[in-house]
Structure 1
Amino acid sequence: MKYPSLKNYINGQFVASNSARTIKVVSPVDGALLSEVTMSSAEDLNDAVEAARIAFHKWSKTPIKERVQVFFRYKFLLEKNLQELATICSEENGKTMSEAIAEIEKCIELTEFATSLPQIVTGEVLEVSKGIECRTEHVPLGVVASIVPFNFPSMVPNWTIPNAIALGNCMILKPSEKVPVSSGRIAELLKEAGLPDGVFNIVHGDIEIVEAICDHPGIEAVSFVGSTKVAKLVYQRATNNYKRCLALGGAKNHLMVMPDAIATMTAQNVVASMSGCAGQRCMAASAMVGVGPIDHIIDKICDEARKVVPGENLGAVINKESKDRIEKYITEAEQQGAKILVDGRGAKVDGKGGGTYVGPTVIDHVTPDMAVAKEEIFGPVISIMRTNTVDEALAIENANPYGNAASVFTQNGGVARYIIERASAGMIGVNVGVPVPREPFSFGGWNESRFGVGDITGKSSIEFWTKLKKSTIKWNPEAGVNWMS
């Protein structure tokens, strides 16, 4: 194994789990054994929650301007260790090094936003009547939990860690058992940055520990990122236990392409969106709806897709099960009458026989009833449907149950505005294939891509990680009496 066996991180120390059940951590790049991780028990979770509960008393009373000093130092450490963190990310997830570096750079941006929170979370004060003032302040919730997926081993944890902790909470992180190495390094850097013991904890595990987190009476809030099927279950279970919950699910993002779109720019954006991170991201384009005559653009999309080479500028998918599932979607679409213009099935990379790769795949003449048009594939596959009007394209986009992202490619501002106003998605792009907002704007979809209120990053996350305390204060009796007093 390249890395030591992974342990839980509780109260500032790596500690063995009470369970004997382990899972091997295998690199999708070449099949190499990276590590093994021990699953956790409810007793392990109790230990983490107790450590966080004790730490919360002091951490929550530390002024926010002092709390964020940890994240100034953490940001520096992310920058200093960028290459190492990117290497771990690439090894355990399978993405290319350039994608892994971009992921760590996004972690730096997320942390930078957290350092600005003292200037944002200022509360309000107003003299509402003579001698009487009302004041609001954001108060931390207590012990919170973050359950994160495999596709971004560092970025998604950093969607929640800096903001939640800077706002005064103490956290339990449950990493994906498929990519647990990055989270351990995050814990080490937070400790090096001066984060007090117990404020941040890691409990490894699978479905059993997720259920225990949802049920634990000492946890006030749960954030989750993963598939819609599991997001629904987590949201239902956590809220049934009277917890605050924000659960982000899957997506089926539609790119609507008009005939007037700039062909080369559109093709580059479409292919980058569908193949970036091997299509394993909830903002990946997986459905394209062409309006009118767009064959010239599809030709360029195919040309661009052929430039994407597994093992060079296209990473691996997470495991063999995912590879088989993705290729099954492609085969089924072909059997149903769709035309495979670029075929990524059976991709192999020399010298990496144990790797799990799917090449870029472009499927034309897809109909809305096909599985590739409706379901989240989570691979480097784009399904092209054809319509005659903008309204027909919007009808297809609106009918999809998800709502993370939608984009339009056009040079017509009126058409762009028409689609922005009518697309049923939380994040919209115009000539942008992956319309992820930059900080301080928040990340979050609609419909079955999100369960709960608010977004997981940016300013919107403040409302999720805090509760509002309101004070009404009167000191001077000489101010007189009216209906307010």
Structure 2
Amino acid sequence: MSNKYGKAKNYINGRLVETMTDRWMPVESPLTGEVIAEVAVSSKEDLDKAVSAAKEAFKTWSKTPIKDRVQVFFRYKTLLEQNMAELSALIQEENGKTLDEARAEIEKSIELTEFAVSLPQLTQGEILEVSKGVECRTEHSALGVVASIVPFNFPSMVPNWTIPNAIALGNTMILKTSELVPLSALKIADLLKQAGLPDGVLNIVHGEKEIVEAICDHPDIEAVSFVGSTKVAKIVYQRATSNLKRCLALGGAKNHLLVLPDANPEMTAANVTASMSGCAGQRCMAASAMVAVGQTDHIIEKMVQEARNVVPGKNLGSVISKAAKERIEGYITQAEKDGAKILLDGRNYQVEGKENGYYVGPTIIDFVTPEMSVAREEIFGPVISIIRSRSLEEAMKIENANPYGNAASVFTQSGGLARYVMENASAGMIGVNIGVPVPREPFSFGGWNESRFGVGDITGKSSIEFWTKLKKMTTKWNPEAGINWMS
């Protein structure tokens, strides 16, 4: 299996190309710890090549009618469906999630593409006679060359948050992959080429910090989207906007689930467990803190029972790297030292036959206090911290004191209490009896506070404003209409 996929090269102007640096990094499968590929480490000169190709392609692509542009994505959707098995297996191999989770990621990519093909109906502009003989109309114009910087945790879905919409709207794109999972993005590019996307419209540049900085600085890149940690999101947002670019940078999260005593025990236990352990907790919408309001021991007991059925190597995937495993287990150890009680311990887990894989078992930590590191910081693993509170008002203070704002959920059978949480939680996405309140298309994805920097959301209708600029045209042809203050 060693170096099974060979070299993951840059993809520029419709073909795989060597880098200027001839530097490579190993790509490990977190399932086994084995090297499955090498990924290029690019330079600013490599980015220049990609931008030049995108800039040239923009001349024709932006002038292609949107009804014609979206035909590429009709065909791409079919190719995603036809290649489901291969795409899912590739995600599992390079990211470590379960095969079911990988399939779900492709299903979501298909849904995102379905939204993109509806863009002609959503961007038709407006027209109105605003005065006698005077007509105003609007239309959406493409920005130019744009960039999308994507993380490791969703090798297909997050690139498909941006690629279909940005490109269908007439832009050309530079995609900067995570160096940990470069293979799925190259397969996406291959399928889009099969679907008829012209060369140069999508270009992929691999690399590390240097390429991210070069994207933020490049004078010919008009807009940058980023998904990753809050620390880096702030840096990208500040650097890109200081270079007068549009930027939408999505950061991390510390999502709180508020569990009330009247919550349905079975449904709550199942949803909370799935939220904290799905994708091995490596998603910005994962439940990482549970605020238990009042007498909820009966629900917590069911959670522990439910979580015991989540088994690494079977229905729980690996975390991304050895460093991630060590960091996650370090948080658990620190919580124990700080006086928290470990109800279920996922440390030092090994999967038979995959002893070198990076696995952490589901972990439930009780009696956590808000000042502990496991309560404040994003762990990005299958770990949930339980904070006890005496009232819903106290629970809301705990939730809203957290600096992030991706998601918050409440588990209750009371419509009034649910409405109170929905109105008062400081988060961009709210769930009621739902552990992962990700909106479905056409509703957009985006958090608040330190989970998002910039205006608007990255998917759905909200993304149209980010990926286009509005042109307003006022016309008058008939001199007999006379003159007023408008004309």
Counterpart of 1:266 (choices 256, 265, 268) is 268
Counterpart of 1:389 (choices 380, 388, 391) is 391
Give me the whole-angstrom Cα distance separating, in 2, the residues matched to 1:248 and 1:484: 42
Counterpart of 1:429 (choices 431, 438, 445) is 431
Deviations 1:17-68 (A, max 9, x none): 0112211000000112210011101111001000000000110000000000
Deviation of residue 283 (structure 1)?
0.1
Deviation of residue 479 (structure 1)?
1.6
Counterpart of 2:200 (choices 195, 198, 201) is 198
Give me the whole-angstrom Cα distance separating, in 2, the residues matched to 1:20 and 1:2: 19
Deviation of residue 232 (structure 1)?
0.3
1:295-310 alignment runs, 5 A limit: 295-310=297-312
1:231 aligns with 2:242: no
AA in 1 matched with 2:56: I
1:213 alignment partner in structure 2:
215
| Contiguous gaps of at least 5 residues in structure 1 | none
Deviations 1:266-317 (A, max 9, x none): 0000000000000000000000001110000000000000000000000000
AA in 2 matched with 1:266: T
1:254 alignment partner in structure 2:
256
2:364 is paired with a residue whose SS is strand
Counterpart of 1:451 (choices 450, 453, 469) is 453
| Contiguous gaps of at least 5 residues in structure 2 | none
| Identity score, percent | 74
Deviation of residue 80 (structure 1)?
0.4
2:288 alignment partner in structure 1:
286
1:357 aligns with 2:350: no
AA in 2 matched with 1:353: E
2:373 alignment partner in structure 1:
371
Counterpart of 2:99 (choices 97, 103, 106) is 97
1:36 is paired with a residue whose SS is strand
Deviation of residue 482 (structure 1)?
1.5
AA in 2 matched with 1:434: V
2:412 alignment partner in structure 1:
410
1:365 is paired with a residue whose SS is strand
Give me the whole-angstrom Cα distance separating, in 2, the residues matched to 1:64 and 1:310: 46
Give me the whole-angstrom Cα distance separating, in 2, the residues matched to 1:3 and 1:333: 40
2:174 is paired with a residue whose SS is strand
Give me the whole-angstrom Cα distance separating, in 2, the residues matched to 1:212 and 1:79: 35
2:154 alignment partner in structure 1:
152
Give me the whole-angstrom Cα distance separating, in 1, the residues matched to 2:136 and 2:306: 59
Counterpart of 1:124 (choices 122, 126, 135) is 126
Deviations 1:421-442 (A, max 9, x none): 0000000000000000000000
AA in 2 matched with 1:251: A
1:137 aligns with 2:139: yes
1:7 aligns with 2:4: no
Give me the whole-angstrom Cα distance separating, in 1, the residues matched to 2:77 and 2:356: 35
Counterpart of 2:26 (choices 5, 8, 24) is 24
1:347 alignment partner in structure 2:
349
AA in 1 matched with 2:468: T
Moved more, 313-322 or 474-483: 474-483
Runs of 4+, deviation exceeding 4 Å: none
2:336 alignment partner in structure 1:
334
2:70 alignment partner in structure 1:
68
Deviation of residue 378 (structure 1)?
0.1
Deviations 1:99-137 (A, max 9, x none): 000000000000000000000011111110111111111
Counterpart of 1:177 (choices 179, 182, 188) is 179
AA in 2 matched with 1:396: I
Give me the whole-angstrom Cα distance separating, in 2, the residues matched to 1:353 and 1:331: 21
1:50 aligns with 2:52: yes
Counterpart of 2:403 (choices 401, 413, 417) is 401
1:325 is paired with a residue whose SS is helix
AA in 1 matched with 2:400: N
AA in 1 matched with 2:46: D
Give me the whole-angstrom Cα distance separating, in 2, the residues matched to 1:361 and 1:61: 53
1:28 is paired with a residue whose SS is coil
Give me the whole-angstrom Cα distance separating, in 1, the residues matched to 2:418 and 2:477: 56
AA in 1 matched with 2:135: E
Deviation of residue 2 (structure 1)?
1.2
Q: TM-score, with normalisation over the residues of structure 1?
A: 1.00
Root mean square deviation of aligned Cα: 0.5
1:380 alignment partner in structure 2:
382
1:186 alignment partner in structure 2:
188
Deviation of residue 4 (structure 1)?
2.2
1:220 is paired with a residue whose SS is strand
1:321 alignment partner in structure 2:
323
AA in 2 matched with 1:398: N
Q: TM-score, with normalisation over the residues of structure 2?
A: 0.99
Give me the whole-angstrom Cα distance separating, in 1, the residues matched to 2:376 and 2:12: 42
Deviation of residue 480 (structure 1)?
1.9
Deviation of residue 483 (structure 1)?
1.4
1:136 is paired with a residue whose SS is strand
Give me the whole-angstrom Cα distance separating, in 1, the residues matched to 2:313 and 2:266: 24
Deviations 1:405-456 (A, max 9, x none): 0000000000000000000000000000000000000000000000000000
1:465-480 alignment runs, 5 A limit: 465-480=467-482
2:221 is paired with a residue whose SS is coil
Deviation of residue 477 (structure 1)?
1.4
Give me the whole-angstrom Cα distance separating, in 2, the residues matched to 1:40 and 1:68: 31
AA in 2 matched with 1:302: V
Q: Give the aligned length.
A: 485
1:469 is paired with a residue whose SS is strand
Give me the whole-angstrom Cα distance separating, in 2, the residues matched to 1:341 and 1:436: 28
Give me the whole-angstrom Cα distance separating, in 1, the residues matched to 2:349 and 2:44: 42
AA in 1 matched with 2:243: N
1:40 alignment partner in structure 2:
42
1:134 is paired with a residue whose SS is strand
1:435 is paired with a residue whose SS is coil
Give me the whole-angstrom Cα distance separating, in 2, the residues matched to 1:110 and 1:40: 29
Counterpart of 2:168 (choices 150, 155, 166) is 166
